Amino acid sequence: MNIILFSNQLELCRAWETAFKGCEDVKILHDDFYNIATSYAIDCIVSPANSYGLMDGGFDGVLTKYFGNQLMERVQRDIIRTYWGEQPIGTSSIIVTHNDKIPYIAHSPTMKYPMVIRNTDNCYQATKAVFKSVKDFNMYNYMQNPIKTLAFTGMGTGTGQLPFNAAAKQMRMAYNDMKKPPDQIDWAYVNDQRDRVHNSLYDY
C-alpha cells in the first residue's frame, strides 16, 4: 500500500519529511485536496473526524463539498448502526463514497467533538485505526477493489491545534506499529509506548 501525506501548510510537510525520512512507500505533497484528487489515483481518503460524523467544518467540510451531503448522511448511518451513535477515538470505518475517482473514505475520529487535542495521543490512535481498518478491508477485498493508495492530511492539526511536529511523530508511530508490530507485550513494551507518546507531545 502506498501512502500520500498532503497539506497546503509547508511547515506540516516539513515535519512529515523529518518524521517519515526513509519511508519509500510514503509520498509527501505540499498541495491542497482538490489538486491531489485531480492529479493522483487515490483509493481512500482519510477523514480526521469527530465522533458524530458531523462533517461541516475543517477538512471534513472540504470532503462534504467534494463528495456531497450523501456521504455525511451515510457516515452518520454507519455510526448509528455500528457504534450506537458515537464513534470512539481509536476506531476507523471504511465508507463507500460513490465517487469513481476516490471510492472510499476512512472515517477516523481524532476528537469526540470540535476541541483542542494538544497533550493527547488522539492522532496516534486515529492514524493507527486507519491502518488497521484498511488492512482488514484489504484482507476481505484483495481479489476486487483493494485499497492500494491511502491519502492523509494532518490528523488533528486543524481544529485540534495539535502541533505539526507532534502530529507527524504520532502518525509515524502508527506507521511503525503497522509495519512492525511487537513480538510480545510486556512491561518493557508498555513503558516504551508511554515514552514514545510522551516524547511526541513534548519533544518539539
**What's the CATH code of the domain at 17?**
3.40.220.10
pLDDT in tens, 96-108: 999 999 999 999 9
Q: Which helix (H) or strand (E) holds 28?
A: strand 26-30
pLDDT for position 204 = 52
pLDDT for position 181 = 96
Q: pTM to 2 decimals? A: 0.96
Strand partners, 50: 111
CB atoms closer than 10 angstroms to residue 130? 27
**Containing domain of residue 138, as a range?**
2-202
Tell me how far apart the alpha carbons of residues 54 and 72 are, in angstroms, rounded to a whole number. 7
What 3-state DSSP class applies to 29? strand
Give 201's pLDDT tier (boundaries 50, 70, 90): confident
How many folded domains does the chain comprise? 1
Report which of residues 18 and 200 the model is more confident about: 18
Q: What is the mean predicted confidence (pLDDT) over 51-74?
A: 97
Report which of residues 144 and 17 the model is more confident about: 17
pLDDT at residue 75 greater than cutoff 90: yes
DSSP notation for 90-155: T--EEEE---SSS-EEEE--SBSSS---TTS-HHHHHHHHHHHHHHHHHHHSTTSS---EEEE--S
pLDDT for position 170 = 97
Q: Which helix (H) or strand (E) holds 26?
A: strand 26-30
Are 156 and 204 in contact by the 8 Å Cβ rule? The answer is: no
pLDDT for position 176 = 97
pLDDT for position 142 = 80
pLDDT at residue 52 greater than cutoff 90: yes
